[in-house]
Amino acid sequence: MSRDLPSSLLMFIASRAAADRVFRALHEAGFDDITIAQSRLMMGLDPDGTRLSVLAERAQIAKQTATALVDKLERAGYVERVPDPSDGRARLVRLTARAESALPLAHAEEERIEAEWREHLGPELMGHLRQALTALREITDPYR
């Protein structure tokens, strides 16, 4: 006997598939020295940089794990640690030019995914999906 999957699991499956495609596209473009865990951590970076503790919280991982991931990303040239202008004792993690050069590739793959989903669902249903997910951010996204 099968049951209907919960909406949260259905969203996770689609999200994971999209993230995997973006990750593969970056690997195929030569950004192959980064892991999926590192890329997910990088998705939590703000444009002007983010404190390590905030990155860990956003990724729902231990600060020690986030530190290890950032150390590896820094060695690979994707992030750098810079002084936090609001607190001289603190440091921010921010993307480097190397990481910034990967963003157009990631965005292009995201656009291809959106187009495929729109073609599969049709424009009306895709519009409803985006509208519903945007509305859910109000109660699910603490960083919106």
* Domain ranges (residues) in the chain: 1-32+97-144, 33-95
Per-chain mean pLDDT for the chain: 94
Rounded to the nearest 5 degrees, what angle is found at the Cα of 50, between the Cα atoms of 30 and 93? 50
CA dihedral 97, 103, 105, 108 (to 10 degrees): -150
CATH of 33-95 given 3.40.50.150, 3.30.70.930, 3.40.50.2300, 1.10.10.10: 1.10.10.10
pLDDT digits (tens, 9 = 90+) for 4-33: 999 999 999 999 999 999 999 999 999 999
Mean pLDDT of 55-60: 92
The pLDDT of residue 1: 56
Give this prediction's pTM: 0.85
Average pLDDT of the segment spanning 100-106: 95
Decide if 55 contacts 37 (C-beta within 8 A).
Answer: no
